[in-house]
Chains A and B, each alone.
Chain A
Amino acid sequence: MVMEYNPKIPTLRPYIDPDNQGFWDGVREHRLVIQKCKDCGLVIHRPRPMCPRCLSTEREWTPSMGKGVIYAYVNVIYQNAGYPGIKAPYSVVVVEITEGVRILANLYDIEPEGVRIGTPVEICFDDIADDLTLPKFKRLNS
């Protein structure tokens, strides 16, 4: 475990609404699903009301393989530059998954000093509280 949470300071919750509920429902069930336009097939993240390409409001949740590479990352070093409920240092990564969208999350098994752009990773899920599961990424095939 490379993330250390302070149970006294609850992790910030996502604001779940009718546009993004499918994504967070999937995360709770340990499945990564991505919004897809039923009309033109565009895969979109983050979830939104309509397809930005064809403006269709017909949406579905398509399962993702959950594999990708680290596209960018930040190592929060100074506690006040991060969240007080997560012990610094910790990493936040943007991962470009093979379906072509980018997902922001934390890492499961890579320490901050070992993070590199281009590292292949795959999705995993961390039940960090009774009512909160977050997607994380770990080294591919680890």
Chain B
Amino acid sequence: MAIDSIKDKAAIVGIGVVDFSTDIGRTEWYTACQAIKLAAEEAGVNIDDIDGMVKSVDDGPDPTYTGKGLGIDNLLYHSENHWGTSAMMNAVHAVAGGLCNYCVYYQTAHRASGPEKCISDFLVAREFRDDSLDMVRYDYFSPFGLIGEPGYVAMMYRRYMHETGIKPEQLGWVPIVASENAARNTNAIFFDKSITIDDYMQSKLIADPIRELDCAPKVDGSIAIVITTPERAKALKQEPVIINSVASGYALEGQNYTSYTRDVITDLPEMENMAKELYRVGGMGPKDIKVAMLDDTFAPYVPMQLEALGFCGKGEAPAFIEGGDKIRVGGQLPVNPDGGEIGQGRFITTRIVEAVRQIRGTSTNQVANTDTVLVASGAGGPADGMICRKE
């Protein structure tokens, strides 16, 4: 148990989103600077006042490039975290602990068209253009042709099917609702119209039981978020979104997407541990959450997260998602009203942007009276997340 010092001590005061594309035609350096500039303008913070920069080590140009591009002359805090949106924790701790005043979290990744990053020198990694392959840690899988995330997740999902009895006709509602929400979201570049269960059932099995529609497509994008203290936020342009709690989660025998050696492989215990800490620090529980921004990089993680985060009981998620009514806007727990990563492309920071918009009341698919949003990332591996609330 950690101390509660970060509760309500940081706020999101600006977001900058560069239009998503599958062929953005600019460098990552360009779009990283562009997103930060947009976020600072939206917040009403001068670029010169930005004194902290954080990002995931996996994506985009580091602060030496973005700082240079933006003419930033000093940073009191800089840090690169790993996994999901966990660099948000660095930003929260930095401003709450007084290490800096205005911290920018940014994610820039041109996965559809852009440079391959963090890639091993194996031919296959190039073939897949997959920046997540790490041949050293995954060498107990790769000689057997289990390579790449759809396959890794398919193994967990197969076991989840066995344990819960979930059918494709049930899981299909995750991408169906994502497509409905994406069709409403003018910023989402996939799904001009919603799909049906027949479309889902006809979707190609790529790594059985994972279908093509279960996977978030690759996209080019860049997002920046400005974080400061609630006190400083009072002088800025936007109504602040308070970060009620932020936490990470870890568990025994974990490995990204491939924790096949733990007793039960379908529980997402990292998410369970993260959720316990989020709720404890924030003084909230699952029933207090109005909107859930869940990691839908791969559709099967959505029902698993609903269980791990306490939104339904163990084994109840297949029925919870079936038909989509409970997870649509207006339902018991709207999930990813922006269309998620399935609808917008594989880009984790979109979840934070939608959390901010829901609390501001400016989403393209607004849930009435949203005052709390839970954001979760890192399903199938080290997890991180936060609870955002209205001031």
Contact = CB atoms under 8 A, between A and B. Distances in A.
A28 to B, nearest CB: 13
Top 3 nearest A-B pairs (CB, nearest first) are A78-B206, A75-B208, A83-B145
A82 B147 contact: yes
Interface string B52-89: 00000000000000000000000000000000000000
A74 B205 contact: no
12 contacts: A12-B142, A13-B139, A15-B135, A45-B261, A46-B261, A72-B156, A72-B158, A75-B208, A76-B145, A76-B151, A77-B206, A92-B155
Interface in B147-161: 147-148, 150-151, 154-156, 158-159
A124 interface: no
Nearest to B204: A78
B265 A72 contact: yes
Interface in A97-113: 101-102, 104-106, 112
Contacts of A89: 208
Tell me the interface secondary structure of chain B in the complex.
mixed
B147 A77 contact: no
A9 B128 CA distance: 15
B124 interface: yes
A54 interface: no
B143 A73 contact: no
Q: Which range holds the interface residue count of chain B?
A: 35 or more
A50 to B, nearest CB: 14
A134 B145 contact: no
Most buried by A among B123, B140, B142, B159: B140
A141 interface: no
B143 A13 contact: yes
A73 B154 CA distance: 8
Given A15-B135, A46-B140, A83-B147, A78 B159 contact: no
Given A77-B208, A81-B150, A81-B207, A72 B145 contact: no
A132 B142 CA distance: 13
B101 to A, nearest CB: 42
Interface of A: 9, 11-15, 45-46, 52, 71-78, 80-86, 89-90, 92, 94, 101-102, 104-106, 112, 117, 132, 134
Contact of A82 (B139, B143, B151): B151
A106 B206 contact: no
B146 A104 contact: yes
A15 B147 contact: no
A106 B140 contact: no
Contacts of B148: 81-82
Nearest to B122: A12
A89 B145 CA distance: 11
Given A12-B143, A76-B208, 9 more contacts: A46-B140, A74-B151, A77-B207, A78-B212, A81-B148, A82-B147, A82-B207, A85-B145, A92-B146
